[in-house]
Amino acid sequence: MLSDLVKDEIQHAYKQILAKKSLRPRSGQRVMIAEIAKALSGIEAIPDMGDNHEVDTAVDGLVNTSGPIVVIEAGTGTGKTLAYVLGTLPLARHLGKKVVLATATVALQEQVTLRDLPDILAHSGLSFSYVLAKGRGRYLCLSRLDQLLRGNASADAMLELFGEVLGDQGQGNTALYEDMLEQIGAGKWQGDRDDWRGIISDRDWSPVTVEAGQCAGQKCSNFSRCFFYQAREQVQKVDCVIANHDLVLVDLALGGGVILPDPQDTIYIFDEAHHLPAKTNQHFSSNTRLRGTLSWLETSLRQLNKLVADTRVQDNGVIKRECADIESLIRGLSEDMSSALMILEPMYAEKAVQSSGRAQDNQAKESHETLTFELGIVPDELKEQSRQLASRFTTLSRSLREVSTILRRLMEDAETLPARQQAELWFPVVGSMVSRAEANEKLWQAFARTDQPGEAPSARWLSAAYGADSDNRRTGSGSGAQEPTDLVLSCSPVLAAQTLIEHLWQRCAGAVLTSATLSALGTFDVLAMRAGLPSHTAYHRINSPFDYANAATLIIPRLNCDPGDVKAHTSAIIQLLPKVLSPDEASLMLFSSRRQMLDVLESMPDEWRQRILCQDDYQKAQLLELHREKVDAGKPSVIFGLASFAEGVDLPGSYCKHVLIAKIPFSVPNDPIEATLAQWIEQQGKNPFMTLSVPEASFRLVQAAGRLLRSETDTGRITLFDERLVSKFYGKSIMASLPPFARDIFPDWLEAPAAR
């Protein structure tokens, strides 16, 4: 039950915001506040039973605890940020819980931190503290900066030691690093990359930051002044932590409560929650480059030999003995890696020969460059080789950690200052080796493992890696085909369900998942399956306040071809675009295939080509800014973009009056993760096309169409160049999932010539 005290606090805060800002109440917003508070009020009834808590059963027999979870699809215009803050924060403070508000994009993270929360704090009468949490890589490492500025010899030594970790980065940037030190000394900069007065390139930033495995923590001579640890201390003190999905998943992978508050004391809010399952799979996946690993092993041997020769960090011969054992291990690993290459190269070569000439666009070409093992089952010979490599990398990881422990001790206990400084220089080098060894250990263990019967398998695949020109080769703008420079072995869960259950749902105090689009074909079944949501999860859909029927029209022209015929479909789009586009309207054209986007662009009349801003020619933020500038100047502008422009793009009013969609956005069928999941679903006796492909396509189409109306006063058109929405049996269900736009199906004035 929600206590009267908390209920009154929420109601008073909402009324005060409306009054102070002269806003009218939104019914959907009030419903969202109430449903969140109602669901999370169950936290009070959950006793702390340690590891002996009662559980209930979730999707497909997976096990969950009874922590409250609420999923809310809130249509555009609901005002969901205010709703989930008011529905969560007062209750969390009453319960003594922390709130972690996680977004999927930096743009929304900055909006919440810089605009939304300060506004709520200023107008609601609520009192709460908040801080933006960032990963270690966003903060400067003072020890790295000291080493770079201690003198040329020290900087050169560090760069030499780090080898491929840093390469030649940082050379010639002494002026920048001295400027950083000056700003830090004057108290004008706190080491946050995002707060630096200018743009810092990755090349300049990498030498002055560290990964977790390279950080000495409390043993570091700069620990008391460390920007990252100071920021982390703040995270533990505030009521609300603004993070992103990636940082939450990093924390959970580390065990939880390492970077962010402990999950059992935390209520999580996941905005843009539709990204959570895919991001979870990314964070709990593994991969390795085969030739790259062989090269790294050789580099590691050279570095370890230098460590053994460095008399300043010797510890009664302990390091020397450890390194001798590691040298033997690495030589054995090199032999095993070469054996693995001998197994995998013929497999990939056979796949490449079979696929030669079958692909018609770049997306298809990329899928044919991947060898996906059916149902994630690898050949017996490779599995046995994987067991051998997993065992050796496990031993290597353990031995390298021993060396790392010795160096950590020397940073504090060495008898001389030079010895302590040299140990501090060596520690991140060995730490990097540990991280690389553990990553390989994880990959080979995944390939050696047999998936449990009845559970969704892991996807396992082999793909090509290319050199610096690979992007040109893939977009078709380079000359000539490239041979792969390496082979990459990868493994990923196909469902995030088990991972999220074990690391999040079973442990958190409560959770809110929200986004403008979470359901597919009118249900939350796909989200529940992918995210492993418990059976007691509460689901709500809050409709947008927009008057769709009067604000926008959905147009489906007659193309006289199926989008599966790429050539005919592209030709039809080229012929119809000049008819359907208006020079008086700012437009957004969304493609599912880069090849088709480029073919259409190249075939457009000159007058239209000059009006088009293509995704491949600009960074996303730069392209959107150029588009706004053209519209503000009264000039025609059309954006050509791929899937990344189908969500998170906010072009209200005159900035977008027409959204054009090349075809129903079905996913690429040969994506290794989706292909393996489809095989498993078919094995369960279900139809993967209807279970996965159609709902996912419906979801993406709703997102794409959502780029048009961004406020209640917006109006415009949506044109979909895909007759399947009308002609195919599954089209009716996809059509029904779209907002209730006015419809203009097969208008007489818009028809492509029949395909020949």
Lowest mean pLDDT among 50-64, 221-235, 514-528: 50-64
SS3 73: strand
Range ranked top by mean pLDDT from 264-273, 296-305, 423-432? 264-273
**What is the rounded average pLDDT of the residues 511-515?**
98
Calculate helix-pair angle for 117-124, 4-21, nearest 10 degrees: 100
Lowest mean pLDDT among 397-401, 410-414, 480-484: 480-484
Confidence of residue 365 (pLDDT cuts 50, 70, 90): very low
Please say whether the beta carbons of 530 and 501 come within 8 A: no
DSSP tally for the chain: helices H, then strands E:
30, 20
pLDDT at 156: 54
For residue range 545-594, list pLDDT tens digits in order: 999 999 999 999 999 999 999 999 999 999 999 999 998 999 999 999 99
pLDDT at 323 over 70: yes
pLDDT at 369: 78
Q: Which two structure tokens, joined as six digits, stand for 45? A: 């009834």
- H or E element at residue 555: strand 552-556
**Which CATH code is given to the segment(s) 548-745?**
3.40.50.300
For residue range 281-295, list pLDDT tens digits in order: 999 999 999 999 999
pLDDT at 49 over 70: no
Give the Cα-Cα-Cα angle 49, 53, 56 (nearest 5 degrees): 155
From the number of C-beta atoms within 10 Å of its C-beta (0-12, 13-18, 19+), residue 347 rates as: middle
Q: Which amino acid is at 521?
A: L
- How does the average pLDDT of the chain come out, rounded? 88
Calculate helix-pair angle for 27-40, 4-21, nearest 10 degrees: 150
State the Cα–Cα distance between residues 511 and 68, nearest whole angstrom. Answer: 7
pLDDT at 44: 64
Confidence of residue 313 (pLDDT cuts 50, 70, 90): confident
**Which CATH code is given to the segment(s) 4-129+238-281+496-542?**
3.40.50.300
DSSP 580-602: H--TTS-EEEE-S-HHHHHHHHH
- Rounded percentage of the chain residues whose pLDDT exceeds 70: 89
State the Cα–Cα distance between residues 702 and 741, nearest whole angstrom. Answer: 12
Q: What are φ and ψ of residue 639, in 5° steps?
A: -95, 130
Q: In CATH terms, are 4-129+238-281+496-542 and 548-745 the same topology?
A: yes
pLDDT at 730 over 50: yes
**What is the rounded average pLDDT of the residues 142-171?**
61
- Rounded percentage of the chain residues whose pLDDT exceeds 90: 74
Confidence of residue 368 (pLDDT cuts 50, 70, 90): low
pLDDT at 359 over 50: no
Provide the Cα torsion 549, 550, 551, 555; round to 10°. Answer: 60
State the Cα–Cα distance between residues 3 and 8, nearest whole angstrom. Answer: 9
Residue 139's beta-bridge partner residues? 192
Q: Which residues of 6-27 are buried (b: 16+ CB within 10 A; e: fewer)?
A: bbebbeebbeebeeeeeeeebe
Domain segments of the chain as ranges: 4-129+238-281+496-542, 136-225, 287-493, 548-745
Identify the residue whose tokens are 């018609």: 360
Lowest mean pLDDT among 50-59, 205-214, 260-269, 357-366: 50-59
